[in-house]
A and B are shown apart, each in its own frame.
Chain A
């Protein structure tokens, strides 16, 4: 893994249309042990799954590879996650997710932030997460020598 040192500035990744698709929400709810109910509230953590949308993931990966020089056998280790919602999301509703990325810092930590806006451009919430990009060799060593 290689990383430039001057990676502290927040860089826009893009603005992506996202939606609470009913089928995906049902599967998500069932997987976390909630009885799926399209009339009920969307699982609070559901918006994080948008980060795995193919176009969003591709943009994040491209940003890391192009601007941060990340390549090779690197494991993204999720350090923390935040979700804030001013109001519950609705099934079938379309939203916009504006993503920005910061890092990696010299420790290989990347911060991703997202702003969720509604169809009327109202700010509805935000996402934030930190990933540690760990070279596979480092992970092997850490887990052999860890507590």
Chain B
């Protein structure tokens, strides 16, 4: 079981419109995600994708995996800022067993070989 991989997918692209929709739905008003001037003044070329938006996409990819009956816990580390429009690939694999009936899945969202978000989920297998 350890080493079993989730299907690798391209996460839905987070462009300006998607980020705007996410900010409206989530209530997040961090200027780095909504204001290009604020992002530029902080040294970025444009707004950044909210890490939570990507984390939410990763969670739903995991939940859609037929072998995942239920996500019990998910933690993500936002390793690097993600510029708007970055194409991200989500991969995952089982790395450990946890308490009875629970399994640990390592998740990544990467641009090429560069991991931008690193996650670890505890799931109940179907």
| CB of A45, distance to nearest CB on chain B (Å) | 4
**What are the interface flags for A81-94 relative to B under an 8 Å C-beta threshold, 1 for contact and 0 otherwise?**
11111101000000
**B75 touching A80 by the CB < 8 A rule?**
yes
Instruction: Provide the bound-state CA to CA distance between A82 and B26, in Å.
Output: 16
**What are the interface flags for B25-60 relative to A under an 8 Å C-beta threshold, 1 for contact and 0 otherwise?**
111111110000000011110000011110111011
A2, CB-defined interface residue at 8 Å: no
Q: With A31-B18, A41-B63, A78-B51 in contact, do A140 and B43 touch (Cβ < 8 Å)?
A: yes
**B26 touching A52 by the CB < 8 A rule?**
yes
Contact of A49 among B25, B32, B42, B73 (CB under 8 A): B25
A107, CB-defined interface residue at 8 Å: no
Instruction: Provide the bound-state CA to CA distance between A88 and B63, in Å.
Output: 12
**What are the interface flags for A44-63 relative to B under an 8 Å C-beta threshold, 1 for contact and 0 otherwise?**
11101100110001000000
**What are the interface flags for B58-80 relative to A under an 8 Å C-beta threshold, 1 for contact and 0 otherwise?**
01100100000011111111100
* Residues on the B chain within 8 Å of A81, using CB: 51-52, 55, 75-76, 78
Interface residues contributed by chain B, number (CB under 8 Å):
37
B21, CB-defined interface residue at 8 Å: yes
Interface residues contributed by chain A, number (CB under 8 Å):
39
* Residues on the A chain within 8 Å of B42, using CB: 75, 136, 139-140, 143
Q: With A31-B53, A43-B59, A75-B42 in contact, do A82 and B73 touch (Cβ < 8 Å)?
A: yes
Instruction: Provide the bound-state CA to CA distance between A93 and B49, in Å.
Output: 29
Residues from 91 to 147 in A contacting B, C-beta threshold 8 Å: 128, 136, 139-144
**B71 touching A76 by the CB < 8 A rule?**
no
When C-beta atoms are compared, the residue in chain A nearest to B38 turns out to be: A75
| CB of B92, distance to nearest CB on chain A (Å) | 14
When C-beta atoms are compared, the residue in chain A nearest to B75 turns out to be: A82
